[in-house]
Amino acid sequence: MDMGIRGKRALVCASSKGLGRGCAEALAAEGVDLILNARGAEALEATAEAIRKTYGVAVTAVAADITSDEGRAKVLAAAGEVDILVTNAGGPPPGMWTDWSRDDFIKALDANMLTPIALMQACLPKMMEKGWGRVVNITSQSVKAPIAVLGLSNSARAGLTGFVAGTARQVAGKGVTINNLLPGIHATDRADALDGGAAKQQGISLDEARAKRAATVPVGRYGTAQEFGATCAFLCSAQGGYIVGQNILLDGGAMNATL
């Protein structure tokens, strides 16, 4: 299926690895030129070069912390006008509800709520002026079903979800859609870090921790960045123009719910 986005320009944040990279690759496969971002320049440059070679699209790589004002300014200046925005950043650390201070909450809110909001505020006006735009925010399954040890993530992402619910309806009339993608467990460095923590806590091996988690997913395995990216590309497609303000859960059936 031709997704009708060849020649568009996308800013994909936090995209040298994992789910962000999955989204970048799926968009590149549709002929979309990219601005990629991550903090570590080496992995970022390697990803940019691999995507250029594989898909033949133009790729600009901007090494910066997307959660800082300076980092965002640098990325937005290099990106210029974009048709597609994929927001993403690292997730907050796990812990107990008793552990977190005001500063911990402010840090999580900055990274996983206020950063995507600032990026949307920067990119939406031009998209609306042009009469076409797509925004996909990478959030988490924790928005629908809380993950107890990720209380900082549960809180910050819920705030972003509320902002998107209202804003998506305000911009839809200008040809701009905003939706959220909610990953359940996917095989990335982030999953390795979470499984490493669980293995240590339970006194089991990393493989055992992975197998234990995979057994909680009806599909019986972790999701892949490719599957995740393909869904992102569809949300960004011409055909996705009637999908507005949705929270799409990609979790292999892990959340046991009727609706």
Rule CB under 6 A: which residues touch ligand NAP? 14-20, 37-40, 43, 65-67, 88-91, 138, 140-141, 183, 185-186, 188-191
- C-alpha dihedral sign at 38, 40, 41, 42: negative
State the minimum distance, in angstroms, from the CB of residue 130 to ligand NAP.
Answer: 26
- Nearer to ligand NAP by Cβ, of 82 and 171: the residue is 82
Closest distance of CB 102 from ligand NAP, Å = 20
Contact criterion met (CB below 8 Å) for 195 and 206:
yes
The amino acid at 128 = M
Q: Which is nearer to ligand NAP, 171 or 178 (CB)?
A: 178
**Shortest separation between residue 202's beta carbon and ligand NAP, angstroms:** 18
Find the shortest distance in angstroms from Cβ 136 to ligand NAP: 12
Give me the least distance between CB of 125 and ligand NAP, in Å please. Answer: 23
Give yes or no for a contact between 99 and 24, defined as CB atoms under 8 angstroms apart. Answer: no
Which of 65/83 has CB closer to ligand NAP? 65
Q: Tell me the C-alpha distance between 256 and 259, whole Å.
A: 9
Q: Is 103 exposed, middle or buried (0-12, 13-18, 19+ CB in 10 A)?
A: exposed
Nearest-approach distance from CB 83 to ligand NAP, in angstroms: 21
Minimum distance of ligand NAP from residue 181's CB (angstroms): 9
CA distances from 36 to 1, 15, 114, 170, 248 (A): 25, 6, 20, 28, 23
The Cα 68–Cα 116 span in angstroms is: 11
Q: Which is nearer to ligand NAP, 141 or 180 (CB)?
A: 141
Q: Is 57 or 152 the residue whose CB approaches ligand NAP more closely?
A: 152
Residue closer to ligand NAP (CB basis): 39 or 174: 39
Quick one: 94 or 240, whose CB is closer to ligand NAP? 94
Select from 96, 87, 101, 82 the least CA-distant residue to 140.
87
